[in-house]
Structure 1
Amino acid sequence: MTDSSPLDDNAFSHIMADPALAGSACSLAVACSGGPDSMALAFLLSRWCRDNGRRLTALVVDHRLRQESAREAETVGARLAALGVRVAILVREGPKLTRDLQNQARLARYGLMLSWCREQGAGDLFLGHHLDDQAETFLLRLARGSGVDGLSAMSPIEMRGGIRLVRPLLDIPKTRLVATLEQAGQAFVQDPSNLSDHFTRNRLRRLMPTLAEEGMDARRLADTAKHLSRARQSLEFYTSQHLNRSGRLYPHGFVRLERATFLEAPEEIRLRSLSKLVSALGGADYPPRFDRLQRLMKRLEADADGAGTLSGCQLLVRGGRIWLAREPSAVSGPVPLEGVGSFIWDRRFRIMLSATKKWPKETDFFIGALGIDGWRQWQNSGREISGFSILPAFVRRGIPALWRGDKLVCPLSTQKSDHWQDHGIEEIHLIAGELFGKTAFSSLNMRTM
């Protein structure tokens, strides 16, 4: 029998007692469409943040799919504000979505929310996915022929674009979330698209009662996804071990692999390793498509020398080694140095500005890529950073650098340097743990060249 008891503050605090869910970020965001799932999470999370000294902002996305969408977003925003929650309404710009509507809307929504989190320094984005969503996602992916990763469905914690996605309600059925709002007298909206048979998820949802009669209820399906998640975690563990054994991550944001060692692993581990490298170094929000990944792997296996690009990542095979770095055209643009504090550049580097030097609002100092011109200026200066000259040209181009106007001050290394500390930069480090997970490329491999 489905549990329909409301969640109270104690029950939610028990869920959030897991340190992995609570995290350490002071500034949190919660995605809220105004529906019962996300509204219940915003309601519970707002009270938890109040009691735990966290700052919460609710992100409401106006997809511009209907004429009344702006008014609907404002209504949701007003309900959240009445709970004492800060609200940011994010509006999707561009042409109207017409094909693959739900998927395109989801991609646009996540793009807007992740960009907001990065710009505003919110480290965690909370999502209202629940037990029924987990079961439906499992069925959707089963119908698409997904492998272990897809059938593992959603994870409680997921890194995407440098932001933690946190799903604290995956073990909670929707009936309990609706009951929570009804007990609190909190209004919510019902999305009319959830009633349309045009969408596969809705059609599968209608099958759930029939499946439950055969023993495949939401809890059973979600438990199956958990079993597969454990298998995925094992594969990820061996993938990290493989990366540690065959490669080296440099603090300047690129990777060098020993080709022979890399190709020794079983095919599944090789493909997972390559996918992780391409996703992290290329900066994409999603892994590369499997068919393209497989073609690139076959090229690495066949050619002792060669090159390729995939999802913003560039590769070069030379002298028994594979070099991987962000494709120069995918590197972020320059960011001016203003004020104090820290910021993330190019989704790879956290730059900490000195508290003793305050940058003016208008400054000609900025962080950007070294590029071709920067490398030429650095060579002409007579100064050198050990090992830079042996790097492939595309690797050097994406290295972070401090600029003043069109004049290079210096390349930035994670090794402290008077060149950039004199200009008010306190610290720079590669967010490797967020890029690859804490077990891939151990600290022993994080030395400079």
Structure 2
Amino acid sequence: MERLGPWVPDRAGMSPVALAVSGGGDSLCLAWLASLWRKNLLALIVDHGLRKDSAEEARLTARRLQALHIPSRIITLTHLSKGSGIAERARSARYVALRQACYEAGCTDLLLGHQADDQAETVAMRQRAGSGCDGLAGMASVTALPEVRLVRPLLGFSRDALRQTLREQQIEWVDDPSNEDLTAERVRVRTAFRRDSTSRTAGWVQAAQQGSLRMVRETERIAALAQQSALLPYGWAIAGETLPQPENLSLLIRAVGGLIYPPSVAAVEQLYLRHCEATLAGVQLVRHKTQWFLIREAAAQQGPVALADRAVWDNRFRVSLPAGLDGGEITVAAAGFGLAREQRCGWPARFCATLPALWRGGQRIAVPHIGLCDDPVLQNIRLIFAPPVPAGGRTVYDPVCPVSP
């Protein structure tokens, strides 16, 4: 843990270190180990609401954490529904909820229970998807997001070792039945590894070797990206007169799309080689005047979110309300089309359609990024572009200073 620091001092009055605890063997072992390391902890339990027993399992996990003297908070998701891509949708929603909970609690570090078998499975899946060298490096021990660090202390330990630790401590855990669902790619890879431990070990070794090389590549890549590209407060990116190399283009797509993970290397390489306007991972590559831009795909944007301080819309914009202001019946949603040319500050209509706007009763009442607001009460509301993972390019986030096209 010392190697993965620095850490907030472990004393009363300081922000706790957060833990994501599902109740399974990995995360519960993480919680037990963390309880031996420090006292000031906060466990976050996300109930996806997708199984009939999930609420009771969340409460059971909270009781087990209480026995370890770890305070916990249950976060219930209500907007997920079963169907296509549920694993990815659930993961994305979980990370949004965890980041928001950390922000509200003032936690700057979030511990995750990913372990060596998860790492080997991830490497195998990315290898099949053609993720390139960075993908084969697997998950990083520390990932710095704008508001919180994701820290994975258990990547050097196997799933079996963690469960054996819990057995010796006589601590029970919850087994999620979805972990045996062979329709999921990760479960199929896991099943194959059970039959071939040599492949699993090779995945661990490959991830470690590629991880060291990735650090060197990222340093060089970020320097090049900062020279050519910029993120704008509107949630768009200027990619330059010529497109960045696929590795850098992928980082910009991740930021503009509000993604935790970048799109596949193969897909980005195809986009780069076509060198024409196209859509990938909820992001549009468009040409405006002499520059390439990346803007959000309007159809992929999140629906309305209630206006509240610290609320997050589209996994990219954080609401900041003046003290004492109540959002009432106002929601945050995409501005959409219909803004007059003189209101768009010179930007194309398809750009401005993706901006966050304030709505009331089905009427658009403000678009803060272009200064459109007739109600003085709402003029100090800020919708701050804060993608979950920084792109590494120059960043111009402050919407108080409009940027000219």
Q: 2:45 aligns with which of 45, 58, 62?
A: 58
Aligned length: 388
Give the deviation of 1:322 after TM superposition.
0.8
Please give the per-residue CA displacement for 1:330-384, whole angstroms capped at 9, x wherever unaligned: 233333434xx422222222221122x2316xx24443333323x22x84xxxx6
Write the letter of the residue equivalent to 2:32.
F
Q: 1:278 aligns with which of 253, 261, 280?
A: 253
Q: Distance in 2 between matches of 1:331 and 1:192?
A: 31
CA contact (8 A) 1:129 1:167 kept: yes
Residue of structure 2 in register with 1:107 after alignment: 88
- Aligned runs of 1:24-423 on 2, under 5 Å? 28-35=18-25, 37-45=26-34, 51-52=39-40, 54-60=41-47, 64=51, 75-76=60-61, 78-83=63-68, 84=70, 85-88=72-75, 94-95=81-82, 106-117=87-98, 120=101, 126-139=111-124, 141-142=126-127, 146-158=131-143, 165-174=150-159, 176-189=161-174, 199-208=188-197, 211=198, 218=201, 222-260=204-242, 262=243, 270-300=245-275, 307-338=277-308, 341-355=309-323, 357-359=324-326, 363-373=328-338, 375-376=339-340, 379=342, 388-405=344-361, 408-413=364-369, 422-423=377-378
Change (3 A) 1:435 1:57: closer
Change (3 A) 1:221 1:390: same
Q: TM-score, normalised by structure 2?
A: 0.76
Q: Distance in 2 between matches of 1:443 and 1:424?
A: 20
Change (3 A) 1:62 1:73: farther
Give the deviation of 1:228 after TM superposition.
0.7
Q: 1:429 aligns with which of 372, 384, 392?
A: 384
More helix by share: 1
Give the deviation of 1:148 after TM superposition.
0.7
Gap runs ≥5 in structure 1: 1-12, 98-103, 264-269
Please give the per-residue CA displacement for 1:50-87, whole angstroms capped at 9, x wherever unaligned: x23x43222355654xx877776665454345445334
Q: Distance in 2 between matches of 1:61 and 1:77?
A: 15
Name which one, 1 or 2, has greater alpha-carbon Rg: 1
User: 3-state SS of the aligned residue for 2:394?
Assistant: coil
The sequence identity of aligned pairs, in percent, is 28
Q: Distance in 2 between matches of 1:90 and 1:404?
A: 24
Write the letter of the residue equivalent to 1:116.
A
Q: Distance in 1 between matches of 2:228 and 2:398?
A: 11
User: 3-state SS of the aligned residue for 2:311?
Assistant: strand
Gap runs ≥5 in structure 2: none
CA contact (8 A) 2:240 2:293 kept: no
Change (3 A) 1:93 1:71: same
Give the deviation of 1:326 after TM superposition.
0.7
User: 3-state SS of the aligned residue for 1:44?
Assistant: helix
CA contact (8 A) 1:308 1:316 kept: yes
Change (3 A) 1:225 1:186: same
Q: Distance in 1 between matches of 2:140 and 2:357?
A: 36
Q: Distance in 2 between matches of 1:77 and 1:110?
A: 21
Q: Distance in 1 between matches of 2:200 and 2:271?
A: 40
Change (3 A) 1:46 1:398: farther
Q: Distance in 2 between matches of 1:406 and 1:96?
A: 29
User: 3-state SS of the aligned residue for 1:342?
Assistant: coil
Change (3 A) 1:192 1:354: closer
Q: 1:441 aligns with which of 369, 394, 398?
A: 394
Q: Distance in 2 between matches of 1:255 and 1:109?
A: 27
Q: Distance in 1 between matches of 2:54 and 2:255?
A: 35
Q: Distance in 1 between matches of 2:92 and 2:397?
A: 34
CA contact (8 A) 1:157 1:165 kept: yes
Deviates more, 1:243-252 or 1:288-297: 288-297
Q: Distance in 2 between matches of 1:111 and 1:345?
A: 13
Residue of structure 2 in register with 1:6 after alignment: none
Q: Distance in 1 between matches of 2:398 and 2:73?
A: 42
